[in-house]
Amino acid sequence: MTSQLTLETRRDAFDMLRVVETTLPDALEAGQVLLEVDRFALTANNISYCHVGDLLGYWRFFPTDDEAWGRVPAMGYATVVKSEHADVKTGERVWGFFPMSTHLLINAGLCNEYNFCDVSGHREGLAPIYAQFQRASKNPVYETSREEQDSLLRGLYLTSWLCEDALFDNDFYAAKDCLITSASSKTSIALAHAVQARGALRSVGLTSSRNKAFCEELGCYDTVFTYDEIGDMPKLSAVSVDMAGDRTVNMALHSHYGDELRYACLVGATHQDGPMGAGETLPGPQPELFFAPAQAAKRSKEWGASEMEKRIATSFVNFRRFADDWLKIRHFDGDTAAQEAFLKVLRGEASPAEGYTVSMRAG
């Protein structure tokens, strides 16, 4: 019998963690596939999934027996160790969303040469992109040595690329600056890189005093301000992309820019203190929640899925080369270390120059 270890968090208190051990079946049913998770990435994105877990369905990805507890989705690589699906072969290497666990048992379907999907009943109504497992052998930019870097950056870069593309799709709302909060977070860095690559807007980072120098040294921001300096920022026409979800920061930003803020969107919630509450209003445009799968579906329809993937892959290769200069990967092995890593990210104690990858197995 195979034992599965899974990290869970209380859905109403994210710092309350537990590790659940379950027994996996020796024999799979028709259509089932067992994936063994190697390592998964742990970033501020995972904390954002907790905050919007009910709103966007993230808690439904990997259901628990007790609804008070949730399994946080995480990007990573896994190997097919058992398969009762004719189009999924044992030994295949795949990338996708997994629970923070040693294994994932799925009902495979919707297979093609590039990926297969989990078609389990609990996935109904969720964005299909989150149920896909992409075959490493068919990824033209896959490199074994970059698996951990890909786990840390690929998913969040996809979100940032699509966010910048959505701004482009709307003529950048006639703005000159793109204001990016939580500038030291990896999703923000990815967005700044995408904004700078197109060159239509200035990328303006907003961060804490302790992270200002780091953000400036990256080179992907045209200029960087601390949250305390919002009142001194030049009031050029701007769009804001909020990765922090902080009430005080948003109030200061919207009040300072007034009508010069042409559009505001919310992507993440990296700040634990002072989060925006439901129904709160701000001066100027109200933040709209950016949902990456919607923009992906739009572009896939307009360009075709293969063309969209090609454009994203080309851009991502450039971004991960850029990340080689500043990203240091730190390993956490075993369920105790996994909990330590989760709490560090939750409390904002992780260095912005570090990326955490986690294995639920002891090293």
DSSP symbol at 142: -
Q: How confident is the model at residue 317 (pLDDT cuts 50, 70, 90)?
A: very high
Long-range pairs for 347-354: beta carbons < 8 A, 24 or more residues apart? 347/15, 347/272, 348/270, 348/271, 348/272, 350/44, 352/184, 352/185, 352/186, 352/211, 352/214, 352/215, 353/214, 353/326, 353/327, 353/328, 354/327, 354/328, 354/329, 354/330
Instruction: Give the global pTM.
Output: 0.88
pLDDT reported for residue 305: 84
Q: Which of 55, 63, 56, 53 is nearest to 122 (CA)?
A: 63
> Distance between CA atoms of 144 and 127, rounded to whole angstroms?
28
**Which superfamily is assigned to 2-141+328-359 in CATH?**
Medium-chain alcohol dehydrogenases, catalytic domain (3.90.180.10)
The region of weakest confidence among 28-37, 161-170, 264-273 is 264-273
Domain boundaries along the sequence of the chain: 2-141+328-359, 152-293
> Distance between CA atoms of 145 and 139, rounded to whole angstroms?
14
Cβ pair 241, 203 in contact under 8 A: no
Local structure of 134: helix, strand or coil:
strand
**Which superfamily is assigned to 152-293 in CATH?**
NAD(P)-binding Rossmann-like Domain (3.40.50.720)
Q: How confident is the model at residue 244 (pLDDT cuts 50, 70, 90)?
A: confident
Helix (H) or strand (E) holding 347: none
The region of weakest confidence among 7-21, 153-167, 239-253, 311-325 is 239-253
Averaged pLDDT, 26-41: 95
> Distance between CA atoms of 180 and 187, rounded to whole angstroms?
10
Give whole-number Cα distances, 229 to 100, 144, 157, 249, 301, in Å: 38, 43, 28, 11, 42
Query: Cα dihedral sign for 98, 103, 109, 114?
Result: positive
